[in-house]
Chain A
Amino acid sequence: MTRTTKPDDGGPTATPAASLRFDAVQKRYPGNARPTIESLSIEVPAGEICVLVGPSGCGKTTAMRMVNRLIEPTAGQILIDGRPNTERAPADLRREIGYVIQQTGLFPHRTIAQNVATVPKLLGWSTDRIAARTTELLELVGLDPEFADRYPAQLSGGQRQRVGVARALAVDPPLMLMDEPFGAIDPITRERLQNEFLRLQAQVRRTIVFVTHDIDEAIKMGDRIAVMRPGGRLAQYATPAELLLSPADEFVEQFVGADRALKRLALGRVRDLELEEPTRVRYGDPVAGVREALRRAEVPYPLVIDADGRPLAWLDDDDLHGERIADGIGSEVAVVDRDDILRDAFSDVLQHRVQYAAVTDHRGVVIGILSADAVARELAPPGPAPVQPAEAHHGTGA
């Protein structure tokens, strides 16, 4: 879980991502005694995803909508690349900020291609350029180009949301606003879209303000998370790891949930942990030698591997009799990839009789053993965090 800001390395993006700063931003509505947003100051470095999360009524959507001036703040200012967003006419400003919303906001009367071409057309791009960009974008979000001439009503919810993302990316905006973009989608599609979007973001590296009420989504998507509490006050602004390790106060602790230790598992990967060495054996090896090797081993079970070093089975005491190890005996091995997320790997371990998993590299060769113990050690405070908590307000902008 180290999605650090990298400079653009010749990806498909040409315009650099923008940095974003909320500077003592306040929003009051006449007639409301309490402000919707009391005073919000956060800084988002270029190319990062900043998630605004909180219960309803915390002002997270209001905060987001002030960035492209759909709502004007009562006090304070919002700076994009160090310049106040009020310097430009709202319509011009918005054309350079991608905008994705929960209900997709696709225009029902326009084809997918026409929807994606909305802002390029406003900016007066040539027909050829628009057509080329549309094809490129549909590919980028994983949609078949044959969808180009369909209408939104002919697409599924997940497909529509992809179009929404493609439309927001059309002119390669330095900054994107996403308001619960995956909120109205079934959990399975949602998970897939989240993963795809993270992959996409790794390519395009835009600065993104992402609004959600779902803390799990925040932890998964965010480079930084701003937890807001009702009344528009910022409770904590931190990386996901830091938020889970040391919640600033009781509100954040409750919002993050009692299972925050488990949630941290979603942040780490198997390779981050110290792995144990297995006792590697093959079918036909002499039993005596295996027993001898086991005496010095960390893991009390021998692991049968094939000629290429791929895991086959766990053996236990009952299997170690006779002269040599009999062919095909032993119990099933949980196999995890070194790049797997810890949570998934741990779940795999718990589902097998032997509470150890064989960790393999990309060729499937065993490189170590993951034990339930190692995971527990990882989670136990004050043990080492899976990643070094970053400073909440470091200014590595573009």
Chain B
Amino acid sequence: MSAPLAALGLFGDAIDVIFHAREGRAGGAQVGGLSDFGAMAWTHLKVVLASVGLASLIALPLGLVLGHLRRGGLLAVTVSNVGRAVPSLALIAVFIAFLGVGFGNVTLALALLAIPPILTNTYVGVTQVDRDVIDAAKGQGLTGAQIVREIELPLALPLIFGGLRTSVVNVIATATIAPVAGVVTLGDPIFSQAVYGDAGKLAAAIVVALMAIVAEVGLGAAQRAVTPRPLRGTPGITRRARFLPTLRKGAATS
């Protein structure tokens, strides 16, 4: 009986830490409160935007070009597989060990994590565009660059947004371990538990989780917004029927 009650108490305490500063456990400086958490959240957000931005600068053009040429499919798939297999903690650790700590290095490490989903989705999105459409565009005299800009990019947008969404959510999660590299994100209360205590640790977890869910939902809405209405299906389920045209016989027709 007591465990759930205590738990509730701790959650309540955690929420309190977010809004009201209190004396650190080690004594001395005030910790917690909106300004403290706000600063950490802002740093968190900055590192996320910087790394996803950097990843997009690399992965988007690369995916568009490879997809347009319909080459390097193996590369795109391999990058995404290897990317998943490398543990984020190990990646950050390698960066600290070899390059040292700091905002730039953390951004670089997180960008590496963010590249695979964006690259793979952009590539797949572009290659999925109906070849007949491309053919018709060529027939009307569009140049390669125009085809990418006018046709392939717009049609690939839903998948590109899907990749961005995955990357952003991943990076928000992983940026939590940035404090080990000297960047004070929302992970700080977790790593400086001696200062923040259990309530502060839990509070950080809550804020990070909320931030991830908001990003997921917001970018999900954006993804739906850029998806032409007829292509919207069950969220999260690939519309296989579009790629494997099997005749599903309606019961009422013959």
Contact = CB atoms under 8 A, between A and B. Distances in A.
B136 to A, nearest CB: 27
A65 B253 CA distance: 11
Interface stretch (B44-52, B76-84, B142-150, B244-252): B244-252
Nearest to A184: B247
A103 B252 contact: no
Contacts of A57: 253-254
Interface string A49-60: 000001011111
Nearest to A62: B254
Contacts of B252: 29, 32, 36, 62
B254 A29 contact: no
B247 A62 contact: no
Nearest to B251: A71
B253 A56 contact: yes
Contact of A60 (B246, B251, B254): B254
A211 B246 CA distance: 20
Nearest to B246: A103
B254 A59 contact: yes
Nearest to A60: B254
Interface in A171-218: 211
A56 B247 contact: no
Interface residues of B, number: 7
A61 interface: yes
A57 to B, nearest CB: 6
Interface in A30-62: 32, 36, 54, 56-62
A57 B254 CA distance: 6
A336 B246 CA distance: 45
Nearest to A103: B247
A32 B252 CA distance: 10
Interface string B217-254: 00000000000000000000000000000110101111
B193 to A, nearest CB: 54
A29 B251 contact: yes
Main secondary structure of the interface of A (DSSP, over half): loop
Contacts of A54: 254
B253 to A, nearest CB: 6
B237 to A, nearest CB: 22
A57 B250 CA distance: 11
Interface string B3-18: 0000000000000000
Main secondary structure of the interface of B (DSSP, over half): loop
B254 A61 contact: yes
Interface in A59-115: 59-63, 65, 71, 103
Contacts of A32: 252
Contacts of B251: 29, 62, 65, 71
A56 B246 CA distance: 18
Interface in A311-334: none
Nearest to A58: B254
A71 B252 CA distance: 10
Contacts of A36: 252
Contacts of B254: 54, 56-63, 211
> Considering residues B247, B251, B252, B254, which has the most beta carbons from chain A within 10 angstroms of its beta carbon?
B254
A61 B246 CA distance: 18
A211 B253 CA distance: 13
B42 to A, nearest CB: 54
Nearest to A31: B252
A59 B250 CA distance: 11
A59 B252 CA distance: 7
A59 B247 CA distance: 17
B248 to A, nearest CB: 11
A71 B249 CA distance: 12
Interface in B143-174: none
Nearest to B247: A103
A36 B251 CA distance: 10
B68 to A, nearest CB: 31
A103 B249 CA distance: 11
B253 A61 contact: yes
Contact of B249 (A58, A59, A60, A61): A61
Contacts of B246: 103
Nearest to A70: B251
A54 B253 CA distance: 12
A54 B251 CA distance: 17
B174 to A, nearest CB: 40
A71 B254 CA distance: 12
A50 to B, nearest CB: 15
Interface of B: 246-247, 249, 251-254
Closest 8 CB pairs of A and B: A61-B254, A60-B254, A29-B252, A62-B254, A36-B252, A59-B254, A71-B251, A58-B254
25 contacts: A29-B251, A29-B252, A32-B252, A36-B252, A54-B254, A56-B253, A56-B254, A57-B253, A57-B254, A58-B254, A59-B254, A60-B254, A61-B249, A61-B253, A61-B254, A62-B251, A62-B252, A62-B253, A62-B254, A63-B254, A65-B251, A71-B251, A103-B246, A103-B247, A211-B254
Interface of A: 29, 32, 36, 54, 56-63, 65, 71, 103, 211
Given A29-B251, A62-B252, 4 more contacts: A56-B253, A56-B254, A57-B253, A58-B254
